[in-house]
Structure 1
């Protein structure tokens, strides 16, 4: 299987070089918005070849882009629309028929967009070997709208990837504050996961009180507390409320910085947590997670002051980071159905919604009397589904048996 990574390379341009890079970023963003408007106005019915025929010369002449950058603009716009279309399909529009009292859903597509996608963040896609490359003296050559520039970079981080069979690809040029980065795409061909070499099957229940509750085949449970995370996020929330109440221009600027800082911090928390999980269980581990794509978080059942925290933590980001880290360590991550994992007793298999006490975070089976922490119960059930997958089950899930009269 082919595994991809995004490597972050810090570069150090001089002030004149930074101005050149910024000018290129601005032209690239304007070009992307121009192509996006054209694609939207033509009802998303243009292929890359048709966009090239219609807009290539204009991109070169009006925005002063080099040949490869003009092509990259077309690729960037089409890729963004494809991503948006995928996200829209994951969340169909649901409505209730007032006459039949039945719920229906309609799949969304790009026709639901009311305006073209806008490219606000300044960035440039640079193709390896054409727009950027490493020089023999250790510097990095980067194409600009004028002449290529040669900048210094922190290459120590790259050594373990450049000499271990990783293939470098397109890089995104970004500016964060006064610092400049290349986010480099890298791929490597890795052997497929062998189910016959499984060492551990670990069920993972995700949440906010405990970011992760793990249960393995030996019956050992590990809890990763999220209380400190919740406390810090509530401080961010109170600060945002204070700045929003002010409403001044300086307050709005600070709001933007706070949002970016919180996102970076959340990203780092997920990185640290997933790395700890992979290091703890090692090679040959199957990490089993619930498939949360169509699961709705009922915020109306949450205390009003805590609803923001309940609905905005990035579980998908955690899932993505765990998946690629598990593959790199010789394991894998799979998703199983989330149905009844919090209601089922892992000892006797009975399913009853009333067995779980949300307020006390406690589970008590009414059939066999088994008791435990409700997050641990979820992890135990998820681990059992993972064990079924390892033994050959294609889509393991729990089903609630109806009483037979």
Structure 2
């Protein structure tokens, strides 16, 4: 099993070496903007080969980039335009379905690149030295630098783990360059017998997560404090936007970066909390693809302040970052994360199987089954249902040898078959759930 992690290395550069890194990063950014303008003129093309024919010679001569860096510029610009086209198509579909009235304007002008970040290819633009240093390509040739980083990452590099592409990133506040390297780690292939515990994880906004294992032990993590901090960021951002001055704009950039770091740090802590509390487990995560499109609804200019605040909170819900953080950390801690369908997890009674919106009175946190009368915390009920579905995945894995079973039928039939199997699942705390 191969796992890719990112190692952030702090480069120890002298003033002369920093000037060389400044030159190559600024030239790379200018080259990106030049290629972006050319792609826009070529009917907003997302084809790297077409862009190569038009820009390669200019990128080499005018900006002084090496052959590999020039090709990387073309691929990055082409990928950016492909992303813009995808967002445009998604916006058209959302407008047709009435989710929004706003027209996507990302392709009205050529995308601009502002960040001083460039991509290096291993053994072409950068390489490791035997003495624990790194060789980096610049406009004036190679420079060899020492670096610092997380101890485990440094050990993996010293042991010769497979290395992928790297990004040279500049932190303006510290006037410091970092090299963010992709490390490919080879881990033992997981087996069902390696994971004795199954944990269902329900993510939300009022509670960042509610996790319940096969023995009924639950872990709740409230999100009120984080929500208040985000609201504070929102109020500050709104006040600065009203001023509209240049200093306010600079402050907005700083606030945005601070909020992004705060959210990322929080999600990393939450994922680590789960892995520490339930070691060696299979974590079941809800597949919440396109959840924002399903929950945002239509834009209402006459909405109350409370409704607008709720919509803003939904749009800032960073469940995907939490799930991805847990997914990539799990194999490193001897655990595993799988995705299961999220349909009706908080509406289905895990004791009698009755599924209905009426089981959630007032769409609140209380769950009351209309048939058997079972009561409980709605998020905990959802986590139990997710855990049951994860157990089903584990059973299929043990019987078939494959972690995911995908019948050769249409998506609609797959969904119907799986939901039918889920409706038969029951959980009884008096019954042993030993796996």
Give the TM interval when normalised to the shorter protein: 0.7 to 0.9
Residue equivalent to 1:388:
392
Residue equivalent to 1:192:
189
Local SS of the residue matching 2:141: coil
Residue equivalent to 2:431:
none
Shift of 1:245: 2.4
Residue equivalent to 2:145:
151
Q: 1:139 to 1:294 in 2, by over 3 A?
A: closer
Residue equivalent to 2:318:
314
Local SS of the residue matching 1:224: strand
Contact 1:91 1:294 in 2 (8 A): no
Shift of 1:61: 0.3
Residue equivalent to 1:337:
341
Q: 1:380 to 1:55 in 2, by over 3 A?
A: same
Distance in 1 (CA, whole Å) between partners of 2:269 and 2:83 is 27
Which TM-score applies when normalising by structure 2? 0.81
Query: Deviation string for 1:261-319 (max 9, x for gaps)?
Result: 10011111111111221222222x22111111132234779643343223212211112
Residue equivalent to 1:36:
36
Which TM-score applies when normalising by structure 1? 0.86
Residue equivalent to 2:161:
166
Shift of 1:121: 1.4
2:115 corresponds to which of 114, 121, 133: 121
Considering only aligned residues, what root-mean-square deviation do their CA atoms show, in Å?
A: 2.9
Residue equivalent to 2:273:
276
Number of aligned positions between the proteins: 390
Local SS of the residue matching 2:276: helix
Shift of 1:84: 5.0
Contact 2:8 2:180 in 1 (8 A): yes
Q: 1:117 to 1:286 in 2, by over 3 A?
A: farther
Shift of 1:20: 2.2
Residue equivalent to 2:77:
77
Shift of 1:18: 2.0
Distance in 1 (CA, whole Å) between partners of 2:159 and 2:196 is 25
- 1:154-233 alignment, distance < 5 Å: 154-155=148-149, 157=151, 158-163=153-158, 166-176=161-171, 177=173, 178-233=175-230
Worse overlay, 81-90 or 340-349: 81-90
Local SS of the residue matching 1:297: helix
Shift of 1:365: 0.7
Contact 2:198 2:391 in 1 (8 A): yes
Query: Deviation string for 1:8-44 (max 9, x for gaps)?
Result: 0011222332232122112111212222333344346
Shift of 1:51: 3.5
Contact 2:46 2:82 in 1 (8 A): no
Residue equivalent to 2:289:
293
Contact 1:29 1:120 in 2 (8 A): yes
Local SS of the residue matching 2:419: coil
For structure 2, the residue ranges without an aligned partner over 5 or more in a row are 298-302, 397-403, 406-413, 424-435
Contact 1:165 1:188 in 2 (8 A): no
Distance in 1 (CA, whole Å) between partners of 2:95 and 2:277 is 45
Q: 1:52 to 1:111 in 2, by over 3 A?
A: farther
2:254 corresponds to which of 254, 257, 260: 257
Distance in 1 (CA, whole Å) between partners of 2:95 and 2:263 is 33
For structure 1, the residue ranges without an aligned partner over 5 or more in a row are 97-102
